[in-house]
Amino acid sequence: MTKLQPSDIVRKGNELMESKYRLGLMEQKLILTVAAKISKNDSYDKTYIIGIKEFCDLIGLKGNSAYSELRKLTLKLRGNAFEVRIGDRIIQTTWLTKVVYKEREGYMELGIDEELKEFFFELKKNFTSYELQNVVRLKRSFSIRMYELLKRYSFRDEKVFEVNELKEILGVEDTYALYADFKRRAILDTQKELRAKTDIDFTFEEIKTGRKVTSIRFFIKSKVEELSSPNIEPETEAIEEINQQINKFGLFVKKEIVELWSKYGTYKVTELLRYAVHSRSVHNPIGFVTWAIQNNLTASVFKTAKGRKEIVPLWLQKQKEEENEYPLWRQEEFSLFSNLGEQEMDLEEERRRLEEELKMYKKPL
């Protein structure tokens, strides 16, 4: 039995991400824990073994009644039917087909419904992945759904949802019928929770029809702290896509650097690479992309809104004039990819100066 790890990766089909179903907080955590156990090479009839105590510890289920509560939870999931709409198909299914408790051994054996396996197995496209720790610490069921929804569109940086549709996906259309209540609980409270406990953050703006708020535009931001986490399992699919782009541009990038880049998002990395390769002001594309990711910058920062023409920032012009100055993005100067004991160059003061000048060119979030 493989031990559960907070860094285990959940992979979930996007259709299921946006389906309108209702699960309680603990029910969602159990299903996502099972999802983190699934490997793309698993057979469809495979069952998954999860330690009872370690699962309770992972999700914070405590006390003498934890075991009985868990049994009620799995029993409910065995009979909790719901619908998933895929194109012109409506699939009516349940979450679990099998639950067996091995009390003496201290584990439970779970089977996923066959109709759901297409959303967890052999996922090559149209899926979203994230670390299990991002959801097990959340305290509201709709916070988990909101996290998944925004994570699914984080590669775009922004996404618009109609208010009524969003309520249905989050399962709160009856709970928060009034928009003011929905905004306070499902948007603002969730914003605080995701900011504190997950790898994404968001801001939003309301879109009105007349005086009524009918849609919400979310601006989604991935946290750059992920890059330095030693427990993160690299995303194979993202790494492959980034390597394809690297080969396309005729570059050579070390494996460990690509793995770290992959956590910033394939789309963002590709755009930064494209900018760096075609920019006359960037002489070290690999170092430039690394620096941009460390500072949570996207390619749009270095382009104008009209015509996408390149800006040559003042700090970059000054840098070119200083012949004896090392370029900011020289690869060997990044402590992220070198041993700290071997680094003797301290660029902190210089970086602060350059970052202050760079603020003039950043788009407001």
Give the bridge partners for 9, in sequence order. Answer: 131
Pick the CATH number of 138-222 from 1.10.10.10, 2.60.210.10, 3.40.50.920, 3.10.450.50: 1.10.10.10
The C-alpha atoms of residue 342 and residue 270 are separated, in whole angstroms, by: 31
- Count the neighbouring beta carbons within 10 Å of the beta carbon of residue 335: 14
Identify the pLDDT of residue 123: 64
What tens-digit pLDDT sequence spans the chain (365 residues)? 667 777 888 888 888 888 888 888 999 999 999 888 887 777 778 899 999 988 888 887 777 788 888 999 899 888 878 877 777 888 888 888 899 999 889 999 999 887 787 777 656 677 888 888 899 889 999 999 999 999 999 888 889 999 999 999 999 999 999 999 999 999 999 999 999 999 899 999 999 999 999 999 999 988 754 444 444 444 566 787 788 888 888 888 888 888 888 877 777 888 888 888 888 778 788 888 888 888 777 777 675 433 444 444 443 444 444 434 444 444 433 434 433 333 334 445 555 656 665 665 555 55
CATH 1.10.760.10 correct for 1-136: no
Same fold, 1-136 and 138-222: yes
Q: Distance (Å, rounded) from C-alpha 271 to C-alpha 295?
A: 15
Domains of the chain: which residue ranges?
1-136, 138-222, 226-361
Enter the pTM of the model: 0.60
Between CA 147 and CA 89 the distance in angstroms is: 26
Using CA atoms, how far apart are residues 47 and 53, in angstroms rounded to an integer?
19
Determine the residue type at 358: L
Spacing of C-alpha 291 from chain mean position:
21
* Tens digits of residue pLDDT in 158-178: 899 999 999 999 999 999 999
Q: Which residues contact 175 (CB under 8 A, 6 or more apart)?
A: none
Helix (H, G, I), strand (E, B) or coil at 52: helix
How many Cα atoms are found within 13 Å in the side-chain-facing hemisphere of 32? 33
Cα(190)–Cα(33) distance, integer angstroms:
21
